[in-house]
Structure 1
Amino acid sequence: MVTDVAAAERMIDRLAAVRYDDDKAYAQRESRGRLAHEFLRRTARWALALGAENKWPHSDLATALDPELAVDPGLIEKKIDFDGGTRGEFPVRREIVYPIVHWAALGDLPRQRFPELDDPYEPLLLMFERSGGYLEYNRFLELGYGAFPVGKLAERAELEALPIDVPTLDALDAQNEES
């Protein structure tokens, strides 16, 4: 059993800082869309690799990799106010936060066991940091200024990786402003 509490706490702090900003979400709608697509692709690949297709794209990837993983829920609840209404129109919800924090608590285990797979949650974290969470309904992710179909797991897993470095994301948003 691996539990990297320090990594889990750093992730909680990162998630606790997320806020939805309507103007920013609109200005960054292209990059947020790209990040949503890449999140779906990466989680599909991990779900298939770990046999965790159930509930994709919100599969419990961390528990599939290490069934003995344990993270104190109090760590999360202490720093993230899920119910206070301070997180905006598109909040980061428990069912999204818990798997991300659990994944962080695995430390280097995912890279050691599956070096060919990219971090499944980094695109989602970047999307959150570019102005908040999303809503999910009828197998669509609603980002505030665009909705994207979740699609089928196998089809998402076959897609090519998209670059998600900050300069590329900023360039996507700058192109959008010029249009």
Structure 2
Amino acid sequence: MTDRTAFPVLYRLRAVEWPGDWDFAFDRVKSRRVLFREYMRRAAVWAQAYSAETAWPFFDITSYVDPAFRLPPEAEAELAELLVRLPNVEVRNTCAGAVRLAELRGQNPDAFSGLPDLYEPLVRFYERGAEFARDDAGFLDLTGMRFRPGPLAVYLTTVPVTLLDDAVLDALDAAGRVTYYMSEDGQGPLLRRRALRDEQTDELFGRDLRWEPTDLIPESDEAVKAAGLAPLDELAAARLIGTIVAAAPGAVG
């Protein structure tokens, strides 16, 4: 978030369609999962920094950072109007935290310079399909995908996904089951195979930030390995897409 005051964040959250449209969210389910996983990582970092491990992951961190902090009355009133529209306590806590932390950072921009922007991945998650929900089996429903959170310690060892703009997120979203590949030596393009029903599509992510058809992925797993290609998980793919996007002509550094 480039503007560290409460109102820009509040307006972004007010612009979300609550509750979310299922089709809109499902079309973005892959980018939403990456955003959610990155939020969990950042929340773990903040929880450790402010001894909030027992409240992790869906908390309003400002109550741990500065228990005496309060929003200006006008912002608090508008936040209260937003919160009554939200579907569950986890979403309410994190939306309140996003607005309040933005104001707190605006008052002292240098205070949290060593910490990641905590709520930005989750605000973007909400913008791309609104809420998540918890089920009785311990899973989270991300709309069309079930997600089981692991322990906090796991997220502290996860490599960050730092670039989360629309070009990166849109490149992650595609119909079907997606497998990413990269040369084992780290050279060459990012590849993906999409399987949807009886169809299979192989693609390459080009420097023009578009997926293009390719014949660089062999048919069988054995041939893929023999060709020196290794599968990548979605977070590694997101980081690589971010590197390509950042290096593209016209990118803002």
Deviation at 1:166, TM superposition (A): 1.9
**How far, CA to CA, are the matches of 1:75 and 1:169 in structure 2?**
29
Counterparts of 1:118-133 in structure 2, within 5 Å, are 118-133=116-131
* Residue number in structure 2 paired with 1:153: 152
Counterparts of 1:103-122 in structure 2, within 5 Å, are 103-108=101-106, 112-122=110-120
Gaps of 5+ in 2: 178-193, 196-253
Checking the alignment, whether the CA contact within 8 Å between 1:42 and 1:119 is kept in structure 2 is yes
Counterparts of 1:60-71 in structure 2, within 5 Å, are 60-71=60-71
SS in 1 for 2:173: helix
Counterparts of 1:21-100 in structure 2, within 5 Å, are 21-71=21-71, 72=73, 73-78=76-81, 80=82, 82-83=84-85, 93-100=91-98
Higher helix proportion (structure 1 or 2):
1
SS in 1 for 2:118: coil
* Residue number in structure 1 paired with 2:133: 135
**How far, CA to CA, are the matches of 2:145 and 2:126 in structure 1?**
15
TM (norm. structure 2) is 0.59
Q: Percent identity?
A: 31
**How far, CA to CA, are the matches of 1:66 and 1:53 in structure 2?**
16
Deviation at 1:164, TM superposition (A): 2.2
Checking the alignment, whether the CA contact within 8 Å between 1:91 and 1:134 is kept in structure 2 is no
SS in 2 for 1:107: helix
Query: Is 1:167 matched up with 2:170?
Result: no
Higher strand proportion (structure 1 or 2):
2
Letter in 1 for 2:147: F
* Residue number in structure 2 paired with 1:11: 9
Deviation at 1:91, TM superposition (A): 10
SS in 1 for 2:134: strand
**How far, CA to CA, are the matches of 1:97 and 1:114 in structure 2?**
19
Name the structure, 1 or 2, with higher relative contact order (CA <8 Å, separation 6+).
Answer: 1
**How far, CA to CA, are the matches of 2:46 and 2:167 in structure 1?**
26
Larger radius of gyration between Structure 1 and Structure 2: 2
Instruction: Summarize deviations over 1:104-147 as a string: whole Å, max 9, x none.
Output: 11124675233232111000011111111111245432111112
Checking the alignment, whether the CA contact within 8 Å between 1:31 and 1:173 is kept in structure 2 is yes
* Residue number in structure 2 paired with 1:144: 143
SS in 1 for 2:63: helix
Letter in 2 for 1:75: E
Instruction: Summarize deviations over 1:44-97 as a string: whole Å, max 9, x none.
Output: 01110111112100233112222221024422123x2635xxx7x899842232
Q: 1:90 to 1:134 in 2, by over 3 A?
A: farther
Aligned-residue Cα RMSD (Å) equals 2.7
Deviation at 1:176, TM superposition (A): 4.9
Checking the alignment, whether the CA contact within 8 Å between 1:135 and 1:143 is kept in structure 2 is yes
Letter in 1 for 2:66: D
* Residue number in structure 1 paired with 2:180: none
